Structure 1
């Protein structure tokens, strides 16, 4: 049997434990081990009437997957966490689960990492100065840079800049950042089985700058990066206007869109629904995916959360892990 995937529990005050239980009960999380708090997951399993047995294990190597059993590697003490609200205790438990998952995936003991949602305010309240998962992964995952790719049934998008203000995003979207995003987008699509990906690069300004009338970033930064990428053999094109490039991708004209900043890339994906959206972190030495939604404090503890995005995240992680293993064996 292949190495297990690790699923980090996420914020215990949110819907993470619930969707993990639902995915496990349906068989979507077979050969997965959860890092987190066993009592939280047991409570979720009981509250949902899932019939799922939650079993604590001492080490990943002792995992023995059985139908109807969720195996949990403890990363925080058992305890009560508030439901549906920001809590430093929950932020601390969420971070420890992520940290353990990263170490297991980075060491090669796990085939990859799937992360349930965390809350940025809870992380900050617990004393962890990270704006989100991607930055934690870049810091602890053995790489100085990481990029975010969102995948759904309609298109894929990779971000040049992530969790920074719009003002800072403009400054950070320099030539180096463009090249990193384009290269990672190309490689990620190849890992998903697309032999020669068509990489569309969005412009930063309205109408992609309109020939310099609305800004020169396209002329001075983005176009040179596209030309350099094409020189490397990447089928990159653009810069395309940000208000139309996603429609073209949805029609099948592009395989992936490189977006310049957070909302430019995420609004189209989330408008089409988060149920099937998956977040993939690129640039890491291991596979990491997550659902394309947050902790949903407003519905936490009500038993109504949709585990569909988590199930797709698990499936995508398995696909990427299998591709990586195949490439390593062929090298």
Structure 2
């Protein structure tokens, strides 16, 4: 029988709905059937999550993540307590520096464990970028922090997923006026290869991947922009020559209709909102963000901290469950060789 992957779960921003979500996730017996789980975070925050969710989840205390992989009984989560933030430093429903610093400390501890080969994947409850920047984040977003911390030098990208549909993008958190200049044959090829291989790690042997156009109507033969002719089409041709069955480019206003009909499992978009708007309209409460291109799978629900409903017992666990399942599949698939590359 294949050993279950070791998946670290974190409680997210202490002012948001993260602890409640993780409590609801772990209250489902199936969770521990999927993975050898280690929960990492502050004890008071975990207790508050259980109280808000109205559930009880037995755990097994451990003193280090190193002890998790060799546990004989994985029917309940391992629990690694950290002291990163005090209750009086947190105001429920409000971003704060103390909460952001707490998130950074917990995530860094999990990445240290990944580097040492003790865990196979991380699934983190929602965080708040503003709070994290107040608390010491030096990058624009958590993905760039992960990549630097883990020593990634190659291509990395945030994937957004909804059920069987994944999206990646060639440019991300930049002004829209700079999106055209960010396009290149090499960047499109790198983004496409990355999502193709990531889908394979998620259990799809031959992913069906399409590439979006950049201009309205796909450029209308060059009369409405030449990015398709000069950049995107050559990138797709070269990918096909490499043996990857990539399709496109397709106009952005119809490509998601094709995906919704089941023609494609992934879409490579050219800039942030080109894919984000479609994915969030299709299912905001079920979306998952996957940090692509890292040597360990890192996933999170895409909906954010939901400060407006924090502490009210109303959080929907569906996206967190999907993020956890992806972490389990990719953690099992990527294997020891990927963990060893971190050392």
Q: For 1:201-212, list aligned pairs within 5 A.
A: 201-212=211-222
- CA 1:22/1:90 → structure 2, altered by over 3 Å: closer, same or farther? same
1:106 aligns with 2:111: no
Matched-pair contact (CA < 8 Å) for 2:5–2:331: no
C-alpha separation in 1, matches of 2:217 and 2:163: 26
Q: Deviations over 1:242-261 (max 9, x none)?
A: 01001101112222110111
1:278 aligns with 2:280: no
Matched-pair contact (CA < 8 Å) for 1:291–1:310: yes
Aligned to 2:341: none
C-alpha separation in 2, matches of 1:39 and 1:312: 26
Aligned to 2:37: 32
Aligned to 2:264: 254
Aligned to 2:66: 61
Matched-pair contact (CA < 8 Å) for 2:201–2:333: yes
1:161 aligns with 2:163: no
Aligned to 1:122: 131
Matched-pair contact (CA < 8 Å) for 1:23–1:310: yes
Q: Which of 194, 198, 204 is the equivalent residue of 1:194? A: 204
Q: Which runs of 4+ in 1 moved over 4 A?
A: 53-56, 64-70
Q: Compute the displacement of 1:201 (Å).
A: 0.5
Q: Which of 4, 12, 15 is the equivalent residue of 1:13? A: 15
Q: Compute the displacement of 1:279 (Å).
A: 1.6
- CA 1:207/1:107 → structure 2, altered by over 3 Å: closer, same or farther? farther
C-alpha separation in 2, matches of 1:154 and 1:59: 35
Matched-pair contact (CA < 8 Å) for 1:150–1:280: yes
Aligned to 1:227: 237
CA RMSD of aligned residues (A): 2.2
Aligned to 1:308: 318
Aligned length: 328
Aligned to 1:76: 84
In structure 1, the gaps of 5 or more residues are none
Q: Compute the displacement of 1:285 (Å).
A: 1.0
Indicate the larger mover: 2-11 or 234-243.
2-11
Task: State the secondary structure of the residue aligned to 1:188.
Answer: helix
Indicate the larger mover: 50-59 or 214-223.
50-59
Matched-pair contact (CA < 8 Å) for 1:35–1:75: no
Q: Deviations over 1:23-54 (max 9, x none)?
A: 11123542221222221111221333312346
Indicate the larger mover: 134-143 or 48-57.
48-57
Q: For 1:121-140, list aligned pairs within 5 A.
A: 121-140=130-149
Q: Compute the displacement of 1:294 (Å).
A: 0.4
C-alpha separation in 1, matches of 2:30 and 2:96: 29
C-alpha separation in 2, matches of 1:66 and 1:188: 27
In structure 2, the gaps of 5 or more residues are 339-343
C-alpha separation in 2, matches of 1:4 and 1:193: 18
Indicate the larger mover: 13-22 or 134-143.
134-143
Q: Deviations over 1:57-110 (max 9, x none)?
A: 320133456656661341614443111011000110011112122222233210
Matched-pair contact (CA < 8 Å) for 1:123–1:130: no
Matched-pair contact (CA < 8 Å) for 1:53–1:70: no
Q: Compute the displacement of 1:3 (Å).
A: 4.5
- CA 1:92/1:29 → structure 2, altered by over 3 Å: closer, same or farther? farther
Q: Compute the displacement of 1:140 (Å).
A: 1.4
Q: Give the TM-score normalised by the residue count of structure 1.
A: 0.91
C-alpha separation in 1, matches of 2:135 and 2:263: 45
C-alpha separation in 1, matches of 2:12 and 2:194: 26
